Amino acid sequence: MSVHPPIEAYDELDSTNAEARRRADAGEAGPVWITAEVQTAGRGRRGRAWSTQRGNLAATLLTTTDRPAAEAAQLSFVAALAACDLADACLGPGVARLKWPNDVMIHGRKAVGILVESGSRPDGRLWLAVGVGVNLAHAPSDVERPAASFADHMSGPPPRPREALEVLAGAFERWRGAWSVQGFPAIAAGWSQRATGIGERCEARLPNRTVAGVAEGLDPDGALRLRLDDGGLERITAGDVFFGGA
C-alpha cells in the first residue's frame, strides 16, 4: 500500500473543503486527508453546489507549500491524474478521460470534480485545500451537464469511499512526487496522454466573454491554448470549456 498522509473520517460535514479551511485558519498545517460520508453543503468550482450522497467519495487534502500560488494551483492537475488512476483501477485503463482543467469524464459524462482553494499563513507559506468529489455509487441528475457514476459502468459494486480514498491518496502522492522532482512538465505529459478534446473544437466560457476555437494543448503553466477562428491564440487560465456541445 502506498504511503500517504493520515486520513480523518467523519460521518457528516458541511464540506470537507470548509473543514480544511477552518483548520487552516486555526493554524493547522497538515498534511491530512479529511473525508465525510455525507456533505450537506459541498461546493464545486465557481460556487456550484456539489452533492455527496452516501456511497460517494468526498475528501480534501489539507497541506502547506512554499511555492507561489500560481505553481501551487498545479496540484489541481495532480489531483485529476490521481482520480483518473482511481477510475482506471475500477473501470479499466482508458475508460476515464480528462477534460481541462481537471474534470474526470466517463464516456463524456463528468464523474469527478476537483476544487483547490488556498490562503496565506502567518509564516508566509500557503495552505492548500485540495478537494476531490467522486461519483462512486450515485450520479446527480439535477446538474447542468450530464454526470456519471463508477457504478454505472461496473459489473460489480463500486469500492467503498474509504477504500477508494486509499487508492486516490496513494496515487496523489506518486504524482505529487513527480511534480516535486520533475516539475509541471511531468504532470502535463501525464495529463495530455489522458486528455479529451485536444485537437477538437470547443467553446470556452470565460468570466466576461465566450470564445471558440480548437484546443491545441497545455502551456507550461497549465493554461489551455485555444486557436481562434481568426488564427489568434487565446490562453485560457480560468473558465469552463465545452467540447461537442457537451
Query: What is the predicted pLDDT for the residue at 208?
Result: 83
C-beta contacts of 171-175 below 8 A and 24+ residues apart: 171/2, 171/81, 171/82, 171/83, 171/85, 171/86, 172/4, 172/61, 172/78, 172/79, 172/82, 172/130, 173/2, 173/3, 173/4, 174/2, 174/82, 175/78, 175/81, 175/82, 175/85
Between 71 and 245, whose confidence is greater? 71
- pLDDT tens profile 121-132: 988 899 999 999
Nearest-Å Rg of the Cα atoms of the chain is 17
- pLDDT tens profile 44-101: 554 455 566 889 999 999 999 999 998 999 999 999 999 999 999 999 999 999 999 8
CB atoms within 10 A of CB 77: 24
- pLDDT tens profile 135-159: 999 988 766 678 999 999 999 999 9
Say how many residues make up the chain. Answer: 246
Domains and CATH numbers, the chain: 7-193 (3.30.930.10), 201-243 (2.30.30.100)
Report residue 149 CA to chain centroid gap.
15
Evaluate whether 66 touches 41 at the Cβ level (below 8 Å): no
